[in-house]
Amino acid sequence: MKLDYHNIKAEGKFTITNFQCGPSLNLLKEDGMYKIIWCNKGEQEMMVDGYDLLLKQNQVLFCTPNNIVEVPKNNHGLIAFVFNREFYCIQHNDEEVSCNGLLFYGSSTAPVISLSDKQSRSFEAMLLLFQEEFETKDRIQGEMLRTLLKRMLITSTRLLKENGLSEELSIKQLDLFRQYNILVEQHFKENHQVSDYAAMLYKSPKTLSNLFKKNNLKSPLQIINERIVVEAKRLLRNSQHSAEEIAFELGYNEASHFSKFLKTCRNITLAVSQGSLEFSSC
């Protein structure tokens, strides 16, 4: 299955696929694509940003364009919804279900939600609606597909809030957490300190750290560091940049400073040899 929508004028793209045809795997390599991957039966091993991930039945993975996703050629039970910013993100959507919303707020960690049997049936019903709409070729097809996609994102956002975040996290705190991640996404190449983002949010670094710790969230510094590491891996894998060039692009004037930073990150080892970088998990 590979269902495609492409608005040439607006450059909007939206595809639903089960990866059973060769070209569909190339979707994961296209620049600027948001990816929702649902395992509707069995379980499937894959890689996200160089790390192994086992997606179990009725789990759904949400990835930004910056997440590097690799799916084996011989896979079963996966359904992917892939779209670009021009298709959905430039529309006027509520903040929580926009491309800067809870599901796509940052790229250091791709959220995974688990569906109950009832919720799984709801996703199956939405998939049928998508398939029916792809068969309807008219001027408002794109708008209907966006509406169905928004419904899926609203449903998923509710599940993430119910099951993936602390019950004690207030709406105000939740918004602060989301805004922090958005700011990191926008400025991580030039701003590497928690104090930089605290100033943007009119908070003290200690206030942010205490709030994140209280709600069992990753520390503010860990979010920054993980985002830098993800981008370094992306550049390493998808470009011919040298170690010095990668370090400079990520805001480090000296490759040695970048190497020192990486060595302080947990679960990461770094080899620098003749201007090249090699990553591996500990």
Domains of the chain, by residue range, sit at: 2-164, 171-281
CA distance 45 to 39: 10
Q: How is residue 262 written in tokens?
A: 């990486």
- Note the pLDDT of residue 171: 62
Handedness of CA 223, 242, 52, 27 (dihedral sign): positive
Higher-pLDDT residue of 259 and 125 is 125
CA distance 28 to 80: 10
Q: Are 111 and 38 in contact (CB under 8 A)?
A: no
Average pLDDT over every residue of 226-252: 81
- Note the pLDDT of residue 108: 57
pLDDT of 57 higher than 50: yes
Helices (H) and strands (E) in the chain, counts: 9, 11
Q: How is residue 173 written in tokens?
A: 């705190």
pLDDT of 279 higher than 70: no
- Note the pLDDT of residue 38: 96
Strand partners, 280: 269
Of the chain, the percentage scoring pLDDT greater than 70 comes to 84
pLDDT digits (tens, 9 = 90+) for 109-168: 678 899 999 999 999 999 999 999 999 888 899 999 999 999 999 999 888 877 655 445
Instruction: Give, rounded to a whole angstrom, the gap between the first and last alpha carbons of the chain.
Output: 38
- Note the pLDDT of residue 105: 64
Residue showing tokens 């705190």: 173
pLDDT digits (tens, 9 = 90+) for 66-107: 788 888 888 888 999 999 988 998 676 666 677 767 787 655
Instruction: Record the pTM.
Output: 0.71
CATH fold of 2-164: Jelly Rolls (2.60.120)
pLDDT of 281 higher than 70: no
What is the domain class of 171-281 according to CATH? mainly alpha
Q: How is residue 187 written in tokens?
A: 């400025």
| Residue at 166: amino acid letter | S
What rounded mean pLDDT belongs to the chain? 82
